[in-house]
Structure 1
Amino acid sequence: MEERSSQATTSRLTARGAKTRSRIVGTAADLMRVRGVGGTTLDDVIVASNVSKSQLYRHFEDKQALVRAVIELVGDRTIAIERERLSKVMTFAGLRRWRDALVENNALQEGRYGCPLGSLANEVSDQDSIARKRLLDLFSAWQELFEDLLRRFQKADLIPQEADVSQLATGLLAAVQGGYLLAQASRDVTPMASAIDMALAHLHTLHSKRNAAS
């Protein structure tokens, strides 16, 4: 109900108002990415986005509302990027390229900030049930992308038809999230690479067993 209300409010914004709102949310997302949700105040967002306090409160009644908008923005970006990358994966070589791109991108900042979605989930899930539910939906969407990939692998006879794609997709997502967390703690993407490699090795094992049974 609240989500529909928020969407209706956004649709009624003038072009200028929508631009201001977008700037506020984008700025808040950038600040929270670096400082964390707890380390980012509304005053920080006001200064960084070059808006007045009244402008900010015209769009967001409090910090919780702004954080929910940040989750929407970050979630849409993250899922869109992963959809673009994973939709192209048709082979194990393609899966390896996806893995390399993910790890190399995180290495640019030495794994400093973790997963955009995972970091938000760590901070807000226990404080805001609506935000937690939205984050769960986003992680489910990410898992579905892995499930689609694995079904393509089944269709191409790369993994057994009887393989549980839901379980395998959960394992892949867990490897990615755990890898992000370990890289963030160590400031080194090596643990992230290892975690994902273990998940991919399991898929290779399924492939080998399928070939042996043929």
Structure 2
Amino acid sequence: MAITSESPARVRIIQAAADLFYVKGVNSVTLDDVRAASGTSKSQFCRQFADKDELVRSVIELRAQQILERDRQHLERMSSFRALERWNDSIIHLNSLRDGAHGCALGALVGSHAPQDPAARNLLAEKFGEWQELIAAGLRRMQENSSLKEGADPAKLALSVMAALQGSYLLAQMTHDVEPMRIAMDMALAHVKTYTVG
């Protein structure tokens, strides 16, 4: 369910938690922090969420919705290597605005909470799968229009791009510098380019 169809109080809580989790990390944020940031009382919070695990899963849904909607603008129409480069440039530009300080909004939820919550881990795997499939579908379109070699495996290439993206988010976050991300993604796309035609 889209967050916009939720109750106003629930939306406020999810959005406040998403912002706090992104900057401070899930494990460092208490429910009191979330209530204070969202301007909700304990009773209001309890009417919306059974516990922190349920809140985290709602934040995963929100972040995935935001990322997928953003990337669909580039990837759903992707049918050339240049389009893949434009998507890559947009990702790097967005992260450069924060000096790479906080990493991937969805990936940040993996290491901090998912190991303790199988439902969150499964949800994250599903959302990363959807994200990766957007890339793979674009590569398949390239194959259909003969700009990607017939022998290329779009699923494996998409996985390699996603792995580079998540690793480079982490490197940028550690150094507060987007340059490691730029280098890693350039190399990942250079690998994809070896399978292009022309």
TM-score, normalised via structure 2 length:
0.94
d(CA) in 1 for partners of 2:157, 2:81: 15
The answer to which structure, 1 or 2, has the higher relative contact order (CA under 8 A, 6+ apart) is 2
What does 1:103-114 correspond to in 2, within 5 Å? Answer: 103-114=92-103
Name the structure 2 match of 1:3: none
**CA distance in structure 1 between the partners assigned to 2:139 and 2:124 by the alignment:** 23
Deviations 1:1-28 (A, max 9, x none): xxxxxx7xx9xxxx8x811111111111
Tell me if structure 1 keeps the 8 A contact 2:27–2:113: no
1: CA distance between counterparts of 2:106 and 2:38? Answer: 22
Q: Give the superposition deviation at 1:115.
A: 0.5
1:187 lines up with 2:183 in the alignment: no
| d(CA) in 2 for partners of 1:166, 1:145 | 10
Identify which of 163, 188, 198 aligns with 1:174: 163
Identity of aligned residues (%): 44
- The residue that corresponds to 2:81 in the other structure is 92
Q: Distance in 1 between matches of 2:86 and 2:72?
A: 14
Map of 1:155 onto structure 2: 144
Which has the higher mean CA deviation after the structures are superposed, 196-205 or 103-112? Answer: 196-205
CA distance in 2, matches of 1:158, 1:194: 24
Q: Which residue of 1 aligns with 2:24?
A: 35
Q: Whole-Å Cα distance in 2 between the matches of residues 71 and 204 of structure 1?
A: 32
Query: By how many angstroms is 1:94 displaced?
Result: 2.0
Alpha-carbon offset, residue 86 of structure 1: 1.2
The answer to whether the 8 Å contact 2:132/2:162 transfers is: yes
Residue type of the partner of 1:95?
L
Aligned AA (2:110) = A
1:200 to 164, 189, 195: 189
Deviation string for 1:93-139 (max 9, x for gaps)? 22222111110100111111100111001111211000000000001
Aligned-pair distance for 1:151?
0.6
The root-mean-square deviation of aligned C-alpha atoms, in Å, is: 1.6
The structure that has the greater radius of gyration is 1
SS in 1 for 2:195: helix
Q: Is the 8 A contact 2:79 2:139 kept in 1?
A: no
Q: Unpaired runs of 5+ in structure 2?
A: none
Equivalent residues, number? 196
> Aligned partners of 1:111 and 1:66: how far apart in 2?
25
TM-score by length of 1: 0.87
Preserved contact between residue 74 and residue 83 of structure 2 (Cα < 8 Å):
no
Deviation, structure 1 residue 155: 1.4
Alignment equivalent of 1:132, drawn from 107, 112, 121: 121
* Alpha-carbon separation, structure 2, partners of 1:200 and 1:81: 20
